[in-house]
Structure 1
Amino acid sequence: MNELQLQEFSEASEETVIILIVDDQQMIVEAVRRQLASESDLEFHYCTDSTQAVKEAVRVKPTVILQDMIMPGIDGLSLIQEYRKNELTSGIPIIALSVKEDPKVKSRAFEAGADDYLVKLPDPIELIARIRSHSRSFVTARKLNYAYRALRVSQQQLLDTNLTLQRAMGELKRLANSDGLTDLANRRHFDEFLQAEWQSASKAGIEISLLMVDVDFFKLFNDSFGHQAGDDTLKQVAGAMRNTVTGEGFLPARYGGEEFAVILPATSSADAMVIAENLRERVEALKIPNHSPKPESVVTVSIGLATLSPNQTNDRKMLIELADKGLYLAKRGGRNRVGVHPADDE
């Protein structure tokens, strides 16, 4: 059954006891109706055709079904099983009605799914008491079920809302930490990341390496090709960095203008040199035309490398200064190379 049908079925009155008697004998139906006639809160319905019983139960939405055990077409035991198979009638209390007090018939009725068993015609007081008791239990259970389902829906909505907020906050954090042009980490995130990694390296007693990367002759490139081409080139260099600096815990960043940086925690100078050379070669392999220093030149980068342990100095800025000096050596040496300024040269 679909959700709309379930919702419509749930709208049955919670105050009125709705009774459906299914019996092919009109005389029995009328006798039961008279027994219940004095009770103003009891709503009475009947069905004499066993083949229509389940459909009638779905239509009436009873809170109790009185089911005859012997009927033409479909017997009472089979009908009880059919009620239990149907999503809209599976929980309705069923009182089996039989012409005799037979333990075997009673046992089979309970096995089929009946909730109670009465010999017809039962005493009116007992019949009404049992109807009210089963109806009250059914309505209470239904209320609890609806409340539980509503709670589950609310919980799922809350989870979905929290997940949406978390994703939004994550995206805002990413945007706040990213450079708008290259989508690499921005200068602020670079500073925060370096501070955190410096503290971690200090506690662990390990080294941390830093690459300072500068696009060679970039100002002349802009003069020759325009700022839009310059921005496109910076994006391609950033892409080369992402493809090269893939280690977990490494951070490529745009430091400012045409200058980039790469923080390499727990990385020796030798390992950092491998990464730097791979990056330099990857940028050169882009073959972005550049008129400087020669007409047939392509865009290249110069890289400064420095490696320090916080045990050598408490000032993390020293790592940046040494990498800058390495960058100066690379540029002075002819550009498109990696320059290293050892800490022990200070």
Structure 2
Amino acid sequence: MSQEISAAADLELPLTTFKVRVLLVDDQLLVVEAVRRMLADEPDIEFHFVTAPSQALDCALRLHPTVILQDLVMPNVDGFDLIRTYRGMDKLRHVPIIVLSAKEEPKLKALGFAVGANDYLVKLPDRLELLARVRYHSGAYISRLQRDEAFRFLRESQKNLADANIELHKLAALDSLTGIANRRLFDETIQREWQRGQRQRRPLSLLMCDVDCFKMYNDTFGHMAGDLCLKKAAAVLTSCLKRTTDLAARYGGEEFAIVLPDTDAAGARKVAEDCLRQLEDLRIENPQSTHKVVTMSIGIATFVPAPDMAEGDMLASADRALYAAKSGGRNRAVSADDSAGQTNTGSGSSRTP
């Protein structure tokens, strides 16, 4: 093998180097020199050769030739078998192969094409004919590479765009301060779950939650502390949800909402009381409030959606219950159907797991 091949064989030439690259596999140095001279004055053509057929496959894999000039009769190696080997490799399956044979026999030509050759020349061919065939087959192969590169780039771009759209959708659905769902996602979820409840005749519960005396907390400790307080409240709400179908969202300001599909009134109350207890257990100081720590009030509404109702009815019902919880002393959960405006502990809660 020549020094030129030895140096080039150590390099992994990228497929994007779309230059005509000829690899001659022939054990006769006289043929190698003759072909080299035919191609020597062509600046757009790289010429490489290998005289040891056992090294042909390795060189072809490393060089990424755009055309292989393949001798048929070589020591210890059958040229037809070597062509079959090329065609069995993913990286060489489509590389054009021009057979260089000392014999012009129809049977040899037919066998060459049968095993995967693209062309057949009797050596030594005319220089102009060799150049024309090398450029023709290389041009077709380079066009294939360019098409494959374009498709690969398109697939990668489409995947990147799809991934970016997913991330943008996630970001667009999250509250920037607390990291939980925002009002937009809440509106989409409550509408979807309301429609599902109508179809399946299953209960749907809504908790409207408001941090008590939050303005006093902000006035006392400042807005940075207020933001941190809201983050902690959001974390409490999400920690009380055990199912992927449940949703905690920031409704606006210091007000939050929890959507509980397939949850009856008792199950909704259990979630509400867990939220109240866990927030109070944090013992976030709020000296201006009655309870001296940060608490929240919760309004609970449970509906089995019906065609003559809308999700707005449930929102209004939960809002009224929240107002009753505030009026009743805060730090409590009040159900919409609790006319007395007092909490009922309740038992036997039902939540589809």
TM-score tier by shorter-chain length is: 0.5 to 0.7
Aligned residue number for residue 20 of structure 2: 11
Aligned 1:143-292 pairs, distance under 5 A: 143-292=139-288
1:23 aligns with 2:18: no
Aligned sequence identity (%): 31
Deviations 1:244-275 (A, max 9, x none): 22422222111222111111122211221222
1:331 aligns with 2:326: yes
Aligned residue number for residue 293 of structure 2: 298
For residue 322 of structure 1, report the CA deviation from its aligned partner.
1.8
Output the CA distance in 1 between the equivalents of 2:297 and 2:50.
94
For residue 307 of structure 1, report the CA deviation from its aligned partner.
0.1
Output the CA distance in 1 between the equivalents of 2:302 and 2:64.
80
- Seen in structure 2, the aligned counterparts of structure 1 residues 268 and 153 have a Cα distance that, compared at 3 Å, is farther
Q: TM-score, with normalisation over the residues of structure 1?
A: 0.68
Q: TM-score, with normalisation over the residues of structure 2?
A: 0.66
For residue 143 of structure 1, report the CA deviation from its aligned partner.
4.7
Output the CA distance in 1 between the equivalents of 2:283 and 2:335.
25
Output the CA distance in 1 between the equivalents of 2:248 and 2:148.
44
SS in 2 for 1:240: helix
Output the CA distance in 2 between the equivalents of 1:343 and 1:207.
18
Q: How many residues end up aligned between the 2 structures?
A: 309
SS in 1 for 2:13: helix
SS in 2 for 1:155: helix
- Point out the structure with max Rg over C-alpha: 1
Q: Which amino acid aligns with 2:13?
A: L
Contact 1:63 1:139 in 2 (8 A): no
Q: Which amino acid aligns with 2:260?
A: L
For residue 215 of structure 1, report the CA deviation from its aligned partner.
0.8
Q: Which amino acid aligns with 2:69?
A: V
Output the CA distance in 2 between the equivalents of 1:53 and 1:167.
44
Contact 2:208 2:300 in 1 (8 A): yes
Q: Which amino acid aligns with 2:267?
A: D
User: Which of 46, 54, 70 is the matching residue for 1:65?
Assistant: 70
- Gaps (5+ residues) in structure 2? 1-8, 341-353
Contact 2:15 2:145 in 1 (8 A): no
Output the CA distance in 2 between the equivalents of 1:326 and 1:285.
24
- Gaps (5+ residues) in structure 1? 119-123
SS in 1 for 2:227: helix
Q: Which amino acid aligns with 2:315?
A: I
Deviations 1:46-95 (A, max 9, x none): 9896599859997998752345535xxxx554998599579789864444
